[in-house]
Amino acid sequence: VVTAPKRARAQAEKVAFGLSAIYAAPRQVLAQELDDLKRRRVQMRADNRALAQQEKNLKKRRAARQLSDDDLLVLLRQPPGDPAL
């Protein structure tokens, strides 16, 4: 024999289960979107690190190609046509 409180409890459990199923789908979608955003952020950070390293290497190459002030003074003091360097 099912009493009124048991029937009410069973009905409440059905409603709760239905609500959890309704809210589970959007929650799952939001969790997937959050995971996607986290992956994209990690990828962007890696890309930014790679770009920063490329920029650093470019600056080093440019600095190595530039003549220092001392080199310029030596060149200016040399007579024309002197192959000292």
pTM: 0.49
The domain ranges of the chain are 4-77
pLDDT under 70: residue ranges of the chain: 1-3, 17, 19-23, 82-85
pLDDT of residue 1: 52
pLDDT of residue 51: 96
Residue type, 25: A
* DSSP one-letter string for 15-46: HHHHHHHHHHHHHHHHHHHHHHHHHHHHHHHH
Residue type, 64: A
- Determine the Cα–Cα distance for residues 67 and 71; give it in Å rounded to an integer: 6
pLDDT of residue 14: 77
